[in-house]
A and B are shown apart, each in its own frame.
Chain A
Amino acid sequence: MNPTPEDPVPTAPPAQVKRPRLHLSLVWLVPLIAAVVGLSLLVNAWLSVGPTIEISFESATGLEAGKTPVKYKDVVIGSVKSIALQRDLSRVNVTVELRKDAARFAREGSRFWVVRPRIGAGGISGIDTVLSGAYIGVDSEAQGDDQYEFQGLETPPSVIKGTPGKSFELHADDLGSLDIGSPVLFRRIQVGQVTGYKLDSDGQGVTLQIFVFAPNDAFVTTDSRFWNASGVDVSIGAEGLQVDSQSLATVVSGGIAFATPEDSAETAKPAPADSRFSLASSQKQALAKPDGAPRLLRMRFDQTMRGLTENAPVEFFGINIGHVRSVRLEYDAPRHRFPVVVDAVIYPDRLEGISEKRGPNDKDDTPTFLVPLVAKGLRAQARTGNLLTGQLYIAIDFIPNAPPVAFNPAARPLTMPTVRSSLEDLQQQVASIVTKVEKIPFDDIGRNANASIVELNKTLKNVNEGVLPEFRTTLQGTQQTLDNANRMLSENGHLQQDLGQTLDALQRSAWSLRQLTELLGRHPESLLRGRGAGSAQPAPAPVIPPMAPPAQQEKAR
């Protein structure tokens, strides 16, 4: 079985041996390179790991450990490593591993918030996170001490730090319908946002932070006026119904508008950042001239002040110079009366120009210039502003024939003499008229009138039944008589002819009588002697009266 070893050996040529140039095989470079690569990856991973920070949130809605990224300006700068509840279960601690190059975010002043889809009145935000899932947003001031524990914001800040622009502070009486993110409008263009608000420490007002983006922040000047542009401003005035609003968005969600009054627009300089302004409740109020120092004015009225409310206007010749601050009742013991004491705040500066000309008598703040005016009849009077609602306002006016009163310009508060309101007088007059009217015995008058009417009725009945038929027959008789007369008087009637002849005869008689008269005038003796020689000549032809018809004249001859 054993083959002879010599058998194959002679035929087998010796195998060649190639000696390597290097003692160590090159193949060992492969694990070396692998090790270098692995090490470099390790070092790279170790180097790229930045600080680990902890952020606490109200809830971890939308956050996922190991997945949720942390983004700054949409660049991933880290990711959530783990999410754990705090020991007292009140909040959630989110552990975030930042990248090495984002270590600057682990500093004081950094703000973290969760970006998730939000729908508010001001719009929809974070819509991209509907599909990609929530992420943690961050902004930082990039200065400050290192900090590794943060309290996350529950709502995203409306303005990210580092955005060009300026922030300002507004002081308002209340917040109104404003909220974080409400627009700030300039000429109805949105130029900024409300970024925050807080109650004043004394609880007397609200301070709002707004941010106006560059370059429009230059329009906020030291003289700019801000007002709450929320909702719709409806006013009824002499011009009719006016509806004013800034934009539809502000109607729904509120907003702030600002403007610089035109008369100061040229001199005003851009306001420095963090300037404080006050927030007026309406555009009218905001753009009104500054009121200056208020003065207290006291008035005592001996009449009811029903309808006079606080903030009712005080007008001087129709110009609003102030408003009523309080209305209260006093008891005047010696006179046994209840005067109504009205305290009003007036702003003398509203009478711009006039207050400057009133004279140099204001040295000790005593309005002595009022003394002659009061002597001339300057009085306060409560007048009806609205006949429907009975609202009163205070008018300061010259009242003719006002009884003179004592006036002390140095009294504090300054007490303005008053007169009863014109409407009050009118009311009294009307009342006296009404009492007089009431005295008239309408009942008796009514009864008498009724009896008279019954009598009249009877009389009429008699007239209808008895008088009228007789009257009718009388009329018929009259008609006949008239007919007869007519017939008699007609042209060819015998009466006419007789009348003509009678007239002729009468004319002739008259002529004869005249001849006789003339004869007697010339020859009065003829009455005794008859016709003499002197009277032989014939008498002149008689003047025939023109009315006599010629035919009859001929006939008469």
Chain B
Amino acid sequence: MSRAPTARQAGVIACHGCGLVCARPADHDMGKVVCPRCGSVLAGLHEGALGRASALLLAALILYFPANLMPVMRTTQLGDVVDRTIMEGVLDFWANGEIGIALIIFVASIAVPCTKFIALGTLFWSSFRKSAQGMRERAGLYRIVELVGYWSMLDVLVVAIVCALVQFHALSAAEPRPGILYFGVVVILTMLSAMQFDPRLIWEGKEKDESDT
């Protein structure tokens, strides 16, 4: 099956910003490649992109522990002060029969970040290895990660809204605890990490594979 030549094979690269096609520099290992017309970074070429994405992902992973171990919200109901971590909140809702809400929070706050870590980690690792396996699936995975990334902030939003609305002083009050800050940082870092990653790197392995053959 004959294939159309890739830009890489043609030795050119297109700018995302202005669409200018420019020649691929020969050695770009150590530098940042920018468009000569508009100055945008010509993503994908920069080998450091994968490293940056990995670094952000690693930072997110580290902060994910305090985000989950520390309480995210303190609710005061008639003098009954309760600090809850994310998981405790989920269990609380579940125990109180609010299975739907429990599932939503669980998916948004625990399942999604965890899948994101695994997915991004897989993507980065395979790209680093320049693996040629399941490249199309990996591309799909990347799209899912990007899509889902925005919804990861659900928990932060829930806390923000609840804390803003539930302020009845002695009767009932809610206030954020440090855990939610770390959680927010985790979400931001994973999003940045995903943005840093150039999906074109997925296909480098194929190109290598093809060029090898």
Determine the chain B residues whose CB is within 8 A of the CB of A35 once the complex forms: 59, 62
Q: Known: A15-B22, A19-B31, A132-B80. Contact between A31 and B51, CB under 8 A?
A: no
How far apart are B125's CB and chain A's nearest CB, in angstroms? 16
Q: Known: A9-B11, A9-B23, A128-B79. Contact between A15 and B51, CB under 8 A?
A: no
Count A-B pairs with CB separation below 8 Å.
Answer: 112
Determine the chain B residues whose CB is within 8 A of the CB of A67 once the complex forms: 82
Whether A413 is near chain B, meaning CB under 8 Å from some CB there, is no
Q: Complex: how many Å from CA A368 to CA B42?
A: 131
A41 partner, pick from B28, B52, B70, beta carbons under 8 A: B70
Q: Complex: how many Å from CA A38 to CA B80?
A: 30
Q: Is the CB of B28 within 8 A of A17?
A: yes
Q: Is the CB of A18 within 8 A of B56?
A: no
A15 partner, pick from B4, B34, B56, B65, beta carbons under 8 A: B34
Q: Is the CB of B22 within 8 A of A33?
A: no
Q: Is the CB of B63 within 8 A of A38?
A: yes
Q: Is the CB of B12 within 8 A of A12?
A: yes
Q: Is the CB of B2 within 8 A of A30?
A: no
The residue in chain B whose Cβ has the minimal distance to the Cβ of A129 is: B79
Whether A61 is near chain B, meaning CB under 8 Å from some CB there, is no
Whether B89 is near chain A, meaning CB under 8 Å from some CB there, is no
Binary A-proximity of B30-48 (CB < 8 A = 1, otherwise 0)? 1111111100001001001
Q: Is the CB of A5 within 8 A of B52?
A: no
State the interface size on chain B (CB cutoff 8 A). Answer: 45
Q: Is the CB of B10 within 8 A of A20?
A: no
How far apart are B19's CB and chain A's nearest CB, in angstroms? 12
Q: Complex: how many Å from CA A31 to CA B55?
A: 6
Q: Complex: how many Å from CA A519 to CA B18?
A: 213
How far apart are B128's CB and chain A's nearest CB, in angstroms? 15
Determine the chain A residues whose CB is within 8 A of the CB of B35 once the complex forms: 15-16
Whether A25 is near chain B, meaning CB under 8 Å from some CB there, is yes
How far apart are B77's CB and chain A's nearest CB, in angstroms? 8
Whether B100 is near chain A, meaning CB under 8 Å from some CB there, is no
How far apart are A59's CB and chain B's nearest CB, in angstroms? 21
Determine the chain A residues whose CB is within 8 A of the CB of B37 once the complex forms: 13
Q: Is the CB of A19 within 8 A of B30?
A: yes
Whether A448 is near chain B, meaning CB under 8 Å from some CB there, is no
Q: Is the CB of A20 within 8 A of B79?
A: no
Q: Complex: how many Å from CA A35 to CA B61?
A: 10
Q: Is the CB of A8 within 8 A of B10?
A: yes
Binary B-proximity of A15-54 (CB < 8 A = 1, otherwise 0)? 1111110010101101111110110010000000000000
Interface residues of B in 82-124 (CB under 8 A from A): 82
A13 partner, pick from B23, B42, B79, B185, beta carbons under 8 A: B23
Determine the chain B residues whose CB is within 8 A of the CB of A128 once the complex forms: 79
The residue in chain B whose Cβ has the minimal distance to the Cβ of A41 is: B66
The residue in chain A whose Cβ has the minimal distance to the Cβ of B81 is: A132
Q: Is the CB of A8 within 8 A of B82?
A: no
Most buried by B among A2, A30, A32: A30
The residue in chain B whose Cβ has the minimal distance to the Cβ of A1 is: B2
How far apart are A353's CB and chain B's nearest CB, in angstroms? 67
Q: Known: A27-B51, A31-B59. Contact between A15 and B13, CB under 8 A?
A: yes
The residue in chain A whose Cβ has the minimal distance to the Cβ of B37 is: A13
Chain B contact residues, majority secondary structure: mixed
Whether B134 is near chain A, meaning CB under 8 Å from some CB there, is no
Binary B-proximity of A252-296 (CB < 8 A = 1, otherwise 0)? 000000000000000000000000000000000000000000000
Q: Known: A14-B22, A41-B70, A132-B79. Contact between A30 and B55, CB under 8 A?
A: yes
The residue in chain A whose Cβ has the minimal distance to the Cβ of B67 is: A38
Whether B195 is near chain A, meaning CB under 8 Å from some CB there, is no
Q: Is the CB of B55 within 8 A of A15?
A: no
Q: Is the CB of B5 within 8 A of A15?
A: no
Q: Is the CB of A16 within 8 A of B36?
A: yes
Whether B25 is near chain A, meaning CB under 8 Å from some CB there, is yes
Q: Is the CB of A15 within 8 A of B25?
A: yes
Whether A133 is near chain B, meaning CB under 8 Å from some CB there, is yes
Determine the chain A residues whose CB is within 8 A of the CB of B59 once the complex forms: 30-35
The residue in chain B whose Cβ has the minimal distance to the Cβ of A30 is: B59
Whether B24 is near chain A, meaning CB under 8 Å from some CB there, is yes
Q: Complex: how many Å from CA A539 to CA B5?
A: 224
The residue in chain A whose Cβ has the minimal distance to the Cβ of B33 is: A15
Q: Is the CB of B30 within 8 A of A25?
A: no
Q: Known: A8-B10, A15-B33, A19-B30. Contact between A31 and B52, CB under 8 A?
A: no
Determine the chain B residues whose CB is within 8 A of the CB of A41 once the complex forms: 66, 70
Whether A3 is near chain B, meaning CB under 8 Å from some CB there, is yes
Whether A238 is near chain B, meaning CB under 8 Å from some CB there, is no
Whether A131 is near chain B, meaning CB under 8 Å from some CB there, is yes
Q: Complex: how many Å from CA A30 to CA B32?
A: 19
Whether B189 is near chain A, meaning CB under 8 Å from some CB there, is yes
B63 partner, pick from A8, A11, A37, A131, beta carbons under 8 A: A37
Q: Is the CB of A27 within 8 A of B55?
A: yes
Interface residues of A in 297-313 (CB under 8 A from B): none
Whether B166 is near chain A, meaning CB under 8 Å from some CB there, is no
Determine the chain B residues whose CB is within 8 A of the CB of A12 once the complex forms: 12, 21-23
Binary B-proximity of A185-203 (CB < 8 A = 1, otherwise 0)? 0000000000000000000
Whether B78 is near chain A, meaning CB under 8 Å from some CB there, is yes
Determine the chain B residues whose CB is within 8 A of the CB of A23 once the complex forms: 30
The residue in chain B whose Cβ has the minimal distance to the Cβ of A76 is: B81
Q: Complex: how many Å from CA A164 to CA B179?
A: 42
Q: Is the CB of B65 within 8 A of A3?
A: no
Q: Complex: how many Å from CA A8 to CA B189?
A: 38
How far apart are B130's CB and chain A's nearest CB, in angstroms? 20
The residue in chain B whose Cβ has the minimal distance to the Cβ of A25 is: B48
Q: Is the CB of A20 within 8 A of B23?
A: no
Q: Complex: how many Å from CA A206 to CA B186?
A: 67
Task: Name A residues whose Cβ lies closer than 8 Å to a Cβ of B.
Answer: 1-3, 5, 8-9, 11-20, 23, 25, 27-28, 30-35, 37-38, 41, 67, 128, 131-133
* 6 shortest interchain CB distances as A-B pairs: A132-B79, A34-B59, A31-B59, A131-B79, A17-B31, A31-B58
16 A-B residue pairings within 8 Å (CB atoms):
A8-B10, A12-B12, A13-B22, A15-B13, A17-B27, A18-B32, A18-B33, A25-B52, A27-B48, A27-B56, A31-B58, A33-B59, A34-B60, A37-B62, A41-B66, A132-B81
Additional 6 contacts, C-beta under 8 A, given A2-B5, A41-B66: A5-B5, A13-B22, A15-B33, A16-B33, A16-B35, A131-B78
